[in-house]
C-alpha cells in the first residue's frame, strides 16, 4: 500500500490542502479581493435592472473609481500593485462612461454633473447642444448654467424640495423619477425635451434579453399564433404584481411608467423552459 503511487499522491494532496487552509495570508488576500470586487458585482446587477438610468450608472461608476482609489491606497496587500490595479479599473470605467452618460448626468437634478471633469462637462454640453435641434447654442448654454447654479427660473425652493423625492426606483407613491421631475416642473425650459429623452434611456439591453427569454419560454409549434398575445399578457401581469406590492399606488395613473420593477429580472429568469407546461402555469 505504501509503495503505490496513489498513496504518495494522496499524501502530497493533503500537504497542499493543509498548507492552503492554514495559510492566513492566503485567506486574508481572498477577503481583500472580495471586498475590492463586491462593488463591481453590485454595479453590474444594478445596470441590468429595468429601472437603471444612465445618470445613476454614471454616478455609481464615479463612486466605484473612488472605491478603488481608496482601497488600493489603504491596503498593504495591494500596495505594490496600486498603479496597475488603479490604471486598469479607471481605464475600463472611462471606456464605459460615454458623452451620453455625462449629458444625462448633467441634466439629472440630483447630480447636475457635479463630479465631471472640465473636459467631460464640455463634451456633455456639446452633445446637449447637438440634441437641442431647434434651440440656439446661447440659450442652451445659459439654461445649463442656470440649472446647475439654481438661478433665474431654477431659483425656486419648491422644485428643489421635490428633488429629495426623486429616485430612479420608485418605492412609494410619493417618489418621482428624474424625467418626471422635468415633466412636472420645467416644461418651459429649453432643456426640457432633451432632458426627458436622456433620462429615459435604459442603462442596458437586459430587459430586452429577458423579453426574448419570455418568448423562448412561451413560443412553441402548438402556441405559435398565440405567442405574441401570451407574452404581452405575461409581461403586464408582472407589472400588475409589482404595482400591487407598492402601497397607495393607483396603477391606472399616469405615473405607472415610473413603477419599480427591480425584481422583474429574477421573476423572468426563474421561468421554466419546458414548452409542454400548461398555459396557466406559464402565465402565473
Task: Note whether 162 and 261 are same-domain residues.
Answer: no
Residue-wise DSSP of 209-260: HHHHHHHHHH--STTTTTHHHHHHHHHHHHHHHHHHTSTT--TTSGGGGGB-
pLDDT of residue 262: 40
Task: Note whether 162 and 42 are same-domain residues.
Answer: yes
Q: How far apart are CA 109 and CA 180, in angstroms?
A: 11
- Total residue length of the chain: 284
The residue from 204, 222, 256 where one domain ends is 204
Residue 29 sits at the vertex; the CA angle it makes with 24 and 34, to the nearest 5 degrees, is 125
Task: Note whether 74 and 164 are same-domain residues.
Answer: yes
The residue from 204, 224, 254 where one domain ends is 204
Task: Note whether 196 and 213 are same-domain residues.
Answer: no
Task: Note whether 101 and 153 are same-domain residues.
Answer: yes
Q: What are phi and psi of 198, to 5 degrees?
A: -70, -40
Could you read off the pLDDT of 161-199 as tens digits, one per residue? 877 766 655 555 556 788 888 888 777 788 989 999 999
Task: Note whether 122 and 48 are same-domain residues.
Answer: yes
The residue from 181, 204, 227 where one domain ends is 204
Question: Cell numbers at residue 241, please?
Answer: 404584481
Q: Which domain holds residue 264?
A: 206-283
pTM for this predicted structure: 0.66
Task: Note whether 55 and 193 are same-domain residues.
Answer: yes
How many distinct structural domains can be found in the chain?
A: 2
pLDDT along the chain (284 residues), means of 10: 55 74 77 83 86 89 86 63 71 87 93 90 94 89 92 83 66 70 81 91 82 72 65 78 64 40 43 44 50
Question: Cell numbers at residue 86, please?
Answer: 488603479
pLDDT of residue 105: 94
pLDDT of residue 173: 52
Task: Note whether 247 and 271 are same-domain residues.
Answer: yes
Amino acid at each position: 500500500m505504501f509503495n503505490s503511487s496513489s498513496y504518495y499522491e494522496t499524501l502530497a494532496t493533503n500537504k497542499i490542502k493543509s498548507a492552503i487552509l492554514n495559510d492566513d495570508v492566503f485567506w486574508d488576500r481572498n477577503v481583500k479581493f472580495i471586498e475590492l470586487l463586491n462593488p463591481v458585482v453590485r454595479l453590474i446587477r444594478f445596470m441590468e435592472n429595468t429601472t437603471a438610468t444612465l445618470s445613476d450608472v454614471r454616478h455609481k461608476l464615479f463612486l466605484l473609481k473612488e472605491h478603488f482609489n481608496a482601497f488600493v491606497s489603504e491596503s498593504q496587500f495591494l500596495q505594490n500593485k496600486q498603479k496597475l490595479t488603479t490604471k486598469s479599473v479607471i481605464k475600463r470605467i472611462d471606456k464605459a462612461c460615454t458623452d451620453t452618460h455625462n449629458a444625462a448626468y448633467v441634466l439629472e437634478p440630483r447630480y447636475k454633473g457635479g463630479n465631471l471633469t472640465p473636459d467631460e462637462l464640455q463634451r456633455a454640453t456639446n452633445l446637449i447642444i447637438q440634441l437641442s435641434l431647434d434651440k440656439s447654442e446661447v440659450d442652451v448654454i445659459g439654461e445649463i448654467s442656470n440649472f446647475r447654479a439654481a438661478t433665474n427660473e431654477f431659483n425656486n425652493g419648491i422644485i428643489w424640495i421635490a428633488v429629495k423625492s426623486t429616485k430612479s426606483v420608485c418605492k412609494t407613491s410619493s417618489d418621482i423619477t428624474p424625467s418626471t421631475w422635468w415633466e412636472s416642473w420645467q416644461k418651459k425650459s429649453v432643456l426640457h425635451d432633451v432632458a426627458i429623452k436622456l433620462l429615459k434611456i435604459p442603462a442596458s439591453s437586459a430587459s430586452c434579453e429577458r423579453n426574448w427569454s419570455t418568448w423562448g419560454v412561451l413560443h412553441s409549434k402548438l402556441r405559435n399564433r398565440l405567442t405574441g398575445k401570451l407574452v404581452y399578457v405575461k409581461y403586464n401581469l408582472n407589472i400588475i404584481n409589482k404595482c400591487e406590492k407598492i402601497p397607495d399606488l393607483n396603477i391606472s395613473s399616469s405615473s405607472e411608467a415610473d413603477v419599480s420593477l427591480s425584481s422583474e429580472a429574477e421573476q423572468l429568469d426563474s421561468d421554466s423552459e419546458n414548452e409542454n407546461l400548461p398555459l396557466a402555469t406559464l402565465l402565473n
